[in-house]
Amino acid sequence: MTAPLIDPFQRRIDYLRVSVTDRCDFRCVYCMAENMTFLPKKELLTLEELDRMCSSFVGLGVRKLRITGGEPLVRRDIMTFFDGMKRHLDSGALDEMTITTNGSQLARFADALYAAGIRRINVSLDTLDEEKFARVTRWGRLPQVLKGIDAAQAAGIHVKINAVALKGFNEDELLPMTEWCAARGMDLTWIEVMPMGDIGNEDRLGQYWSLKDVRSALAQHYTVTDLPDRTGGPARYVRLEETGQRIGFITPLSHNFCESCNRVRLTCTGELYMCLGQEDMADLRAPLRDFPGDDRALDNAIRAAIALKPKGHDFDYSRQRLDGQMPRHMSHTGG
């Protein structure tokens, strides 16, 4: 049981992304419908169960844990989970625990997160224009997010900005966002919009802005140098020589990154998705709850799931239709 988690394509799985809630205080137009129906709270794993689940993965060789949602910081008493998982950082069993957040609650939690061992976070932020921010998030307030970023940096947490590239929406903010991040010492990663879930009347084909075009636009203003950096995620990186900052590109559509995939995703209900872009999943809640005092069944279920991890996903916009669209929302699987 001490052997590492190796999938059928000889990829070592050492990175777990965990959605601790499907709820969010925003309703971003590429992520959710405006009137979402969320899971009943009784279906969610308790914080104690999430701790036990994550600890089993750490025991099987997972070295990096990313906590996501929904918005993870809206889950009640979430700091008890972070405080508990810190023991794996202290022991050296876990290299890193990070968070992806919309930033809305950071002003409240930044100091506590640092005390729990969080040293890096990703903040999802697609625009610096207050009116556009309200439009893309439907419910969001930009000043609240900016205050949260200030608090995180003041607490000593390194902040990276994640921006979804949306055609006709934030194309004109490519340079301003780059310069704003550079001035604050923050890296910036651009993400292609992914076909996940029914988002109502929004047009995903109309939203799609290829990151090939983003890179070309940057190259007209900066000297762009490719970097070999890998952070355990799907991004490929460049350095802008004039600012010294690192720019990442996550390209599930224009460049498949599956060959180096080292991660799986756990939902807040205990479903393990071996691939973001496939529907295959394993139910880990049953072995977790059926054997409350014995983790062997859970460990065996995790190993069996990893043995079914597919080679890659099916996202494709090339034929101008939503091939490979996943019916579940990103907030269900974890952003």
- The reply to whether 274 sits in an annotated binding site is no
Does 100 carry a binding-site annotation? yes
264 among the known binding-site residues?
Answer: yes
Is the omega angle on the peptide bond into residue 335 within 30 degrees of 0, that is, cis? no
- The response to whether 263 counts as a known ligand-binding position is yes
Q: Which residues, 6 or more positions from 250, have their beta carbon under 8 angstroms from its beta carbon?
A: 189, 190, 191, 192, 211, 233, 234, 235, 257
> Is 273 annotated as ligand-binding?
no
Is 31 annotated among the ligand-binding residues? Answer: yes
Cα 203 to Cα 164: distance, rounded to the nearest angstrom: 15
Q: Is 268 within any annotated ligand binding site?
A: no
Residues β-bridged to residue 196:
326
Residue 150 CB-half CA count within 13 A = 7
27 in a known ligand binding site: no
- Is 56 annotated in some ligand binding site? no
275 is in an annotated binding site: yes
Q: Is 312:258 a contact under the CB 8 Å cutoff?
A: yes
CA-CA distance, 68 to 70, in Å (whole number)? 7
The angle subtended at Cα 179 by Cα 171 and Cα 69, nearest 5°, is 65
Question: Do the annotations mark residue 17 as ligand-binding?
Answer: yes
Q: Is residue 30 marked as binding? A: yes
The answer to whether 92 is a known ligand-binding residue is no
Binding site residue list for [4Fe-4S] cluster: 24, 28, 31, 258, 261, 275
Binding site residue list for GTP: 17, 66, 100, 160, 263-265
Binding site residue list: 17, 24, 28, 30-31, 66, 70, 100, 124, 160, 194, 258, 261, 263-265, 275
Binding site residue list for S-adenosyl-L-methionine: 30, 70, 124, 194
